[in-house]
Amino acid sequence: MIVLEKRPQPSRVWAYATPLVAVLATMIAGGLLFAALGKNPVEAIRIIFYDPLFGEFAYLDRPQLLVKGAPLVLIAIGLSLGFKAGIWNIGAEGQYIIGALTGAGIGLAFYPVDAWYVFPLMVIGGAFGGWVWAMIPGLLKVRFGTNEILVSLMLVYVAEQLLASMSLGLLKNPEGRGFPGSRNFSDFPGASSWISQDAGMHWGVVAAFIAVIFAYILLNRHMLGFHIRLTGEAPRAARFAGVNPSRLILFCLGASGALAGLAGLFEVSGPAGQVSIDFGAGYGFTAIIVAFLGRLHPVGILLAGGLMALTYIGGEAAQMGMGLPAAAIQVFQGMLLFFLLAFDILTNYRVRFSARKAA
C-alpha cells in the first residue's frame, strides 16, 4: 500500500528538483503522445527543445526566444507576487488585452505625429489599463469579499469582447478597406526607434529583465516583500505583525495587472504590430505555468519563461515540419503544469510502501 507521509520540514532537494523532474516527465509523456499521433517522438522532442538553440536556423530562433519569453516573464512576475501572498489573479489574460487596447489607443490617437513622447505615453497607458482592469476584482474582494479567482477569470471574456469590438469599430484602420484591425504600428512615423525588426528585440525584453531585478529586490530586501511572503506562509502571524490585508490585496493585484498591461502593450506595438480580433494569444494563462514552474522566484521565472518560449518556437517548427496539430502542442505545454503540481507533493510528503493490514 502506498502511503504519503508528511515531512517534518519541506524538502529543499525536491523543491529545486521538481521543475527538472517535471520537464523530464513532460518529455516522456509528450513523446508517447506524439507516438500515438503517428509521429516520431524522438524527432519531435529534438525539434522542440534542441533545434531552436542549436539547429541549422538557431541564429534566427534565439532572438525570438527573448521576444516570446518577454511577455510571459512580465506577466508571471506580477502573478508570482500575488500567488506568494495567497492572492489568486487568474485573469491576467484580460489585463494583457486591456493594456494592449489602452496603450494602442493612445498611439493611434496621436497618429501620424512623430514625437519622442508618444511611445512613453503608450507604455504608461498600457500599464494603467492593466492596473484598472485588475482593480475591479481587487476592490470587489476588499469591499464585498468576492472571490478574486472567479471575478478576474470572468473579466477575461469581457476583455475579449472589447477587443473584438475595438478591432471592428473605434480602433479599426480607416484605410484598411473594411478589414478588421487597427493600423500597423511598424508603419508609424518614428516607430523604428522602439521596434527593431532586424534583431526581433523590443523594449518589452528590457522591461522583463528590469521586472525580474525589481521583484528580486522587493521580495528579498524590502519590508513589503517580507509582508507578502509572511502573508502567504503564515496568515495569522501576518495579522499579528500588523499587515494590512486590504492594502496587500490591492498592491498585488494592481502590480500584476500593470505588468500584464505592459506585456500587452509591448506585444501589440512590437511582434503583433496591430490590434486585431485574435490578438489574445493566451499569454496570461500560460504565464501561470511559468510562475509555478519558476517556483514563484524571479530568477526561476526568467528561466521558466525561456523554457516555455522554447516550446512555443519549437512547437511551431514541429507543426510545420512534422504536421503535428496545434492542440497537441498545447497539451504538451499543459503537461508541464500537470507534472509540476504532481511532483510538487513530494516537497512536503514522502512516499512510503507498507503492507496492507488485514480487515
Which pLDDT does position 336 carry in this prediction? 87
The answer to the question of residue 5 being in a domain is no
The answer to the question of residue 17 being in a domain is no
What is the pTM assigned to this prediction? 0.92
Q: What is the CATH number of the domain that holds 190?
A: 1.10.3470
Name residue, grid cell 494592449: 100
Selected residue with higher pLDDT from 282 and 195? 282
- SS in 3 state form for 209-253? HHHHHHHHHHHHHCHHHHHHHHHHHCHHHHHHCCCCHHHHHHHHH
Name the domain count of the chain.
Answer: 1
Give the DSSP H or E segment for 288: helix 283-293
The answer to the question of residue 276 being in a domain is yes
The answer to the question of residue 119 being in a domain is yes
What is the C-alpha separation between 10 and 287, in angstroms, rounded?
A: 25
The answer to the question of residue 357 being in a domain is no
- 196-221 exposure pattern, b = at least 16 Cβ within 10 A, e = fewer: eeeebbbbbbebbeebbeebbebbee
Percent of the chain clearing pLDDT 90 (strictly above): 64
The answer to the question of residue 201 being in a domain is yes
The answer to the question of residue 329 being in a domain is no
Average pLDDT, the chain: 90
Q: What is the mean pLDDT of residues 312-337?
A: 90
Percent of the chain clearing pLDDT 70 (strictly above): 96
* Statement: residue 358 has pLDDT above 70: no
Which pLDDT does position 186 carry in this prediction? 81
| Joined grid coordinates for residue 295 | 517556483
Instruction: Name the pLDDT band for 187 (thresholds 50, 70, 90).
Output: confident
Which pLDDT does position 359 carry in this prediction? 53
Query: Residue 147 belongs to what domain range?
Result: 40-323
* Statement: residue 33 has pLDDT above 50: yes
Lowest mean per-residue pLDDT among 31-45, 55-69, 257-271, 284-298: 55-69
The answer to the question of residue 21 being in a domain is no
Name residue, grid cell 481587487: 138
Which pLDDT does position 199 carry in this prediction? 47
Q: How far is CA 184 from the centre of its chain?
A: 24
- What are 157-181's pLDDT values in tens digits? 999 999 999 999 899 998 888 888 9
- What are 192-234's pLDDT values in tens digits? 666 654 445 678 999 999 999 999 999 999 999 999 999 988 8
